Chain A
Amino acid sequence: MAVFTRDGELTWRRRDRREALQRWMASFAFVTLLLLCWQVIAERTLWDFVLDAPAQGADLVGRMIPPDLPYLQRLWRPLWDTFNMATLGTLIAIVFATPLAFLAARNTTPRFPLIRPIALLIIVASRSINSLIWALLLVLILGPGVLAGVIAIALRSIGFIGKLLYEAIEEIDTRSVEAITATGASPGQLRAYAVVPQIMPAFAGISVYRWDINIREATVLGLVGAGGLGLELMASVNTLAWGRVSTLFLLILATVLISEWVSARLRAAVT
């Protein structure tokens, strides 16, 4: 903010001269870096392949048409597996993430050293690994199948739900917390009456949103052997059965649309 005099009149600009210059330099440096990166990428691209891409793409799409619709008959079971992986994984994650969030939130963590850092570490560890990687590891440990998928999804979702939920807990209105404290409530009652009602909308929203994400993630977990639609997708790609691949794409699209619709309705219901 800069207030100065020009022609004997008091005037104001958003930034003074030095600040404006600094910002301009920063923008210039950023654009230069962008252009440099672009150049490096361009040098390392095999342009013959890229120029060929439209023809290749059209060819692939051509082979995908028409979709192999009778194949749908064999997909209901994997679809059910996918749905179950997402739903069970989300439920397990909720069970673990909720207490974790209370331990991680600054205003509800017990007055005991180390508990909060440990809770935060668990959340970060869970979040830092994609569920596909979790599945890859779990398939090695547990063998291929739906169980590996369920646990992979749960492990990834604990961090997601835990983080968003503890942020919601930290943002609650402290006035009702104070009022409930003043009635002589115990710490447990304080959480049940002053914290839980306030985070219910966030809790429902976060859980349903994660379930919605998990439906999408569950469709790919089969690629590493964790069961569900992904397994069929991999099999179809490997056997170059492009009609089946497009059928799978359509089914996944429909599933995601439905889950999105359901989650929107559920979130609207809890306000």
Chain B
Amino acid sequence: MLEIEGLSKHYPGTAAAALDNVSLQLEGGEIIALIGPSGAGKSTLIRCINRLVEPTAGRIVLAGEELTALRARELRRARRRIGMVFQEFALVERLSVMENLLSGRLGYVGLWRSVLRRFPQSDITRAFELLERVGLEGYADRRADTLSGGQRQRVGIARALMQAPELLLVDEPTASLDPRTARQIMRLIHELCTEHKLPAIINLHDVPLAMRFCPRIIGLRGGRIVFDGPVKQLDTTVLTQIYGDEDWASMAGEQADDDAQDDVASGAAVVDRGRAP
């Protein structure tokens, strides 16, 4: 589905590489969490995939198409197939929820139709369906800046799904949200990906959240992959390898406690044993 080979990124003027020879493969419908300390290159990695950041070296192939070889016009066409969800939602604040959703279709309509907001009825119907699906029925005409953080992220997710993507890139979807909303948003992303058999790469700071919703974990440190495996192999040794020394047992224990309180209904996994949801 997605193949990354020897991907490297050097930002000009910095000594260390942001990404150093990263290779990974993603099968259809697979949900990967990308974890690692700040500055490990997580954001750079997912931005290289849709080339919001231009990689220095390496190959990225999505469903047989080599993204790294595309020129401007073909790249725009390829970006339509890749949905993206952002940390701080990145909505256009002064536009309505509907306009934000429809902006996910920009790659498919011409300039004038999009300027005049004359989108095909099928797009509008899909937008209403997605709004209902993410729990924002009746919000179509609200301006994005009147929504709460959780609601904005739901709009961000719906916008990405408007593209009918083949791959979903998610950059720290929960970093600007409170713990409860964070969990709801992660659950929503997980459900939607499962429903649509949509493969996803999710950058996450929050290890317990990653362990709960993502069957496969990739650990990044200093621009290199230091762990790639199923969530049950993610133990304290591996965490130390990714993040450095820390008393993981006690941290995970605390996390498990408030998990149990917060989410009895969904049969919360006990995180320190690393069980998938």
| Residue A241 CB within 8 A of the other chain | no
| Residue A51 CB within 8 A of the other chain | no
A178 with B90, Cβ < 8 A, contacts A184-B76, A189-B111, A193-B103 known: yes
A182–B50 CB distance below 8 A: yes
Chain B residues in 8 Å Cβ range of A184: 76-80, 106-107, 163
Within 8 A of A (CB), among B79-113: 79-80, 82, 84, 86, 88-95, 99, 103-107, 111
Chain B contributes a number of interface residues (CB within 8 A of A) equal to: 31
Q: How far is the CA of A189 from the CA of B77 in the complex (A)?
A: 14
Contact with A along B152-175 (1 / 0, CB 8 A): 000010010001000001000000
A183 with B80, Cβ < 8 A, contacts A175-B88, A188-B111 known: yes
| Residue A186 CB within 8 A of the other chain | yes
- What residue of chain B has the Cβ atom nearest to residue A181's Cβ? B52
Contact with B along A147-182 (1 / 0, CB 8 A): 000000000000000000000000001011011111
Q: Which of B86, B93, B103, B114 has the most CB of A within 10 A?
A: B103
Q: Which one, B78, B82, B106, B111, contacts A180 given CB within 8 A? A: B106
Within 8 A of B (CB), among A179-237: 179-186, 188-189, 192-194, 197-198, 200-201
Chain A contributes a number of interface residues (CB within 8 A of B) equal to: 21
| Residue B115 CB within 8 A of the other chain | yes
Chain A residues in 8 Å Cβ range of B111: 186, 188-189, 192
Q: Which one, B76, B86, B106, B156, contacts A193 given CB within 8 A? A: B106
In angstroms, how far is the closest chain B Cβ from the Cβ of A89? 27
B80–A197 CB distance below 8 A: no
Q: How far is the CA of A194 from the CA of B91 in the complex (A)?
A: 9
Chain B residues in 8 Å Cβ range of A179: 84, 86, 90-92, 156, 159
A197 with B94, Cβ < 8 A, contacts A185-B106, A186-B76 known: yes
- What residue of chain B has the Cβ atom nearest to residue A198's Cβ? B94
In angstroms, how far is the closest chain A Cβ from the Cβ of B44? 13
In angstroms, how far is the closest chain A Cβ from the Cβ of B214? 21
Q: How far is the CA of A198 from the CA of B144 in the complex (A)?
A: 12
B92–A194 CB distance below 8 A: yes
In angstroms, how far is the closest chain B Cβ from the Cβ of A194? 6
A183–B95 CB distance below 8 A: no
- What residue of chain A has the Cβ atom nearest to residue B82's Cβ? A182
B92–A180 CB distance below 8 A: yes
In angstroms, how far is the closest chain B Cβ from the Cβ of A95? 17
Chain A residues in 8 Å Cβ range of B94: 197-198, 200-201
Chain A residues in 8 Å Cβ range of B76: 184-186
Q: How far is the CA of A218 from the CA of B191 in the complex (A)?
A: 64
Q: How far is the CA of A200 from the CA of B94 in the complex (A)?
A: 9
Q: How far is the CA of A199 from the CA of B152 in the complex (A)?
A: 21
In angstroms, how far is the closest chain A Cβ from the Cβ of B205? 18
Chain B residues in 8 Å Cβ range of A193: 92, 95, 99, 103, 106, 114
Q: Which of B52, B92, B93, B107 has the most CB of A within 10 A?
A: B92
Q: How far is the CA of A14 from the CA of B156 in the complex (A)?
A: 46
- What residue of chain A has the Cβ atom nearest to residue B75's Cβ? A184
Q: How far is the CA of A200 from the CA of B79 in the complex (A)?
A: 28
Q: How far is the CA of A194 from the CA of B88 in the complex (A)?
A: 15
In angstroms, how far is the closest chain B Cβ from the Cβ of A168? 13
Within 8 A of A (CB), among B238-253: none
Chain A residues in 8 Å Cβ range of B114: 185, 189, 192-193
Q: How far is the CA of A210 from the CA of B104 in the complex (A)?
A: 36
Q: How far is the CA of A238 from the CA of B31 in the complex (A)?
A: 84
A185–B92 CB distance below 8 A: no
In angstroms, how far is the closest chain B Cβ from the Cβ of A9? 37
A180 with B103, Cβ < 8 A, contacts A175-B88, A198-B92 known: yes
Chain A residues in 8 Å Cβ range of B105: 183
> 28 A-B contacts, Cβ less than 8 Å apart?
A176-B90, A176-B91, A179-B159, A180-B106, A181-B52, A182-B50, A182-B82, A183-B104, A183-B105, A183-B106, A183-B163, A184-B78, A184-B79, A184-B106, A184-B107, A185-B76, A185-B106, A188-B115, A193-B92, A193-B99, A193-B106, A194-B92, A197-B92, A197-B93, A197-B94, A198-B92, A200-B94, A201-B94
Q: 5 tightest CB-CB pairs across the interface, nearest first?
A: A184-B107, A179-B90, A184-B79, A184-B80, A185-B106
Give the A-binding residues of B (Cβ under 8 A).
Answer: 50, 52, 76-80, 82, 84, 86, 88-95, 99, 103-107, 111, 114-115, 156, 159, 163, 169
Q: Name 11 extra pairs, CB < 8 A, besides A175-B90, A178-B86.
A: A175-B88, A176-B91, A179-B84, A179-B156, A179-B159, A180-B106, A183-B163, A184-B76, A184-B78, A186-B106, A193-B99
